[in-house]
C-alpha cells in the first residue's frame, strides 16, 4: 500500500463526509435545486422523521473515523450503502451530479482496495 496517496485520499474523503454530514444537521450550505423526482425523494426521506438524521449521522461518524484513521475499514463499510444510494440517486433522479457520484464511487473503491487485507476475514466463506 502506498501510504501518501492513501493518506491524502482518506483524509479528503473523511473531510467530505464529515462536512456534508454536518451540513445535514446545521444547513451550512444552501440546498441546490433538484429535478422534481429527486426533490420528491429527498422530501420523503425528511418526512420519515429519522432517515436523514440516520444517514447524515452515519456520514459524520464515518467521516471522523476516516479523518482519525480509527477503524477506517469499518468506516468504508458504513459508507458503502450510502455511496451506492448517492450513485443511484444521481444516475436515476439527478443526473447533473453524476460526475461527483462517479468520483465518490471511485474513491471508495480505491480506499477499499488499499485496505483489502483488512477485509480478508470478512470476505472468507465459512
pLDDT in tens, 41-81: 999 999 999 999 999 999 999 999 999 999 999 999 999 99
Distance CA 66, CA 15 (A): 8
User: What is the CA angle 22-43-31, rounded to 5?
Assistant: 45
Q: Helix or strand or coil: residue 15?
A: helix
DSSP assignment of 61-121, as one string?
Answer: HHHHHHHHTSSHHHHHHHHHHHHHHHHHIIIII-GGGHHHHHHHHHHHHHHHHHTHHHHTT
Residue 91 has pLDDT above 90, yes or no: yes
Res 124: pLDDT: 85
Residue 1 has pLDDT above 60, yes or no: no
- List the grid coordinates of 108: 471508495
Residue 2 has pLDDT above 70, yes or no: no
What's the whole-model pTM score?
A: 0.94
Amino acid at each position: 500500500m502506498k501510504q501518501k496517496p492513501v493518506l491524502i485520499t482518506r483524509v479528503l474523503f473523511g473531510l467530505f463526509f464529515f462536512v456534508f454530514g454536518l451540513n445535514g444537521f446545521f444547513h451550512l450550505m444552501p440546498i441546490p435545486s433538484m429535478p422534481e423526482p429527486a426533490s420528491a425523494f429527498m422530501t420523503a426521506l425528511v418526512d420519515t422523521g429519522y432517515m436523514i438524521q440516520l444517514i447524515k449521522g452515519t456520514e459524520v461518524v464515518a467521516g471522523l473515523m476516516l479523518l482519525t484513521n480509527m477503524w477506517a475499514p469499518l468506516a468504508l463499510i458504513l459508507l458503502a450503502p450510502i455511496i451506492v444510494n448517492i450513485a443511484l440517486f444521481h444516475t436515476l433522479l439527478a443526473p447533473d451530479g453524476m460526475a461527483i457520484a462517479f468520483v465518490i464511487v471511485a474513491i471508495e473503491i480505491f480506499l477499499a482496495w488499499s485496505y483489502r487485507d483488512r477485509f480478508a476475514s470478512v470476505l472468507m466463506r465459512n
